[in-house]
Amino acid sequence: MATYTKLSSGSWRVQVRRKGRYVSETFLRRDDARRWATETERQVDRGETPTKSRVARLKTFGELIDLHIDDMCDVGKSPRRSKAAALAMLKRQLGKCNVAALDRERLIRFGRERAAQGAGPMTLGIDIGFIKLVLSHAAAVHGLPVKVEPVDLARIALKRLGLVGKGCERDRRPTQDELDRLIAHFDSNPLQIAPVGRIIRFAVATAMRQEEICKARWSDLENRTRMLLIRDRKDPRNKKGNNQRIPLFAATGFDAWAIVEEQRARRSNDDDRIFPFNHKSVGTAFRRACADLSIHDLHFHDLRHEGTSRLFEAGFTIEQVALVTGHKDWKMLRRYTHLKPEMLHTIQAANAA
């Protein structure tokens, strides 16, 4: 039975006690309070968790995206850059869509539109995954009557159409000539402030990501053991606190420790970062240099790929390479290992020695 109380502010407070459950809400109008109380009693009778009035009023997919983001921020897990960008895109394209209208047909149309915009099979698969995440969050956390089955059916349809699937594994490796030209390009430029040539060599030597390199600290360097602590390494589950110690050695054709010593000799301030430069600026300089040198289809991340492949070519096992690259899933690590056939001679000779 619902109890209504008019507050001094003029608002109405409604309390519902039913089958041992107690919930209450405050409304500006009595009619709104009555409608909420009636629906709440029905939910309790069906064995469902009563929905708060604020959440119950949410109608569009964009509002559910905001609800998901707010909830994740409340528990200290705000979306990081890639997820935030994906959710922003979904809000632009599907935000005004009524949740009830977000059926299989609408999702298939969304998939076709995204593919026409240039989204590849893996990207579209990630987009569909985020749509399901937002809907399932609303249903599981807030008890909203939203369905996730249409998302699964749409994924099957898009997969049959060839619009959702595994992405093409990138296997671009820079040649030694390309690396030499890039390094010489930066080292010979007196106007270049960031030591991008040194950073390129360090990237191949350590298989570290661009952002990791520009965040590495002197205080995390162990001089005696020649180890470097990388903080918060990228991880699909939880990046925060995912720290890893890696060796700085000369197994890939470039000596990581010697590069650090070069950088130490040029240290001119108290900045604790070994390479105190914005990683985005480094990436921009790298892209411009590739354009100037007519080096096509080479990304900075390909240097991590190159360093990883060189570790395998040096004879290290998957388990040992993972200690450098930080991969926890060895299947994921395999996609980085595009060995040059001619290196089999070197590996065989080393094993025979």
C-alpha 25, offset from chain centre: 38
> Consecutive sets of 10 residues in the chain, 353 residues long: mean pLDDT of each?
82 80 76 80 74 66 91 86 91 92 94 92 94 92 84 95 80 93 95 94 96 96 95 73 90 95 91 95 96 95 93 87 85 64 61 63
pLDDT recorded at residue 236: 60
Nearest 10 degrees: CA dihedral of 204, 303, 328, 166? Answer: -160
Beta bridge partners of 22: 17
pLDDT given for residue 274 in this prediction: 96
pLDDT score recorded for residue 251: 92
For 123, left (φ over 0), alpha (ψ -120 to 50), or beta?
alpha
Reduce the secondary structure of the chain to three states and give it as a string.
CEEEEECCCCCEEEEEEECCEEEEEEECCHHHHHHHHHHHHHHHHCCCCCCCHHHHCCCEHHHHHHHHHHHHHHCCCCCCHHHHHHHHHHHHHHCCCEHHHCCHHHHHHHHHHHHHCCCCHHHHHHHHHHHHHHHHHHHHHHCCCCCCHHHHHHHHHHHHCCCCCCCCCCCCCCCHHHHHHHHHHHHCCCCCCCCHHHHHHHHHHHCCCHHHHHHCEHHHEECCCCEEEECCCCCCCCCCCCCEEEECCCCCCCCHHHHHHHHHHCCCCCCCECCCCCHHHHHHHHHHHHHHCCCCCCCCHHHHHHHHHHHHHCCCCHHHHHHHHCCCCHHHHHCCCCCCCCHHHHHHHHHHC
* pLDDT score recorded for residue 256: 96
pTM above 0.75, yes or no: no
pLDDT at 81: 82
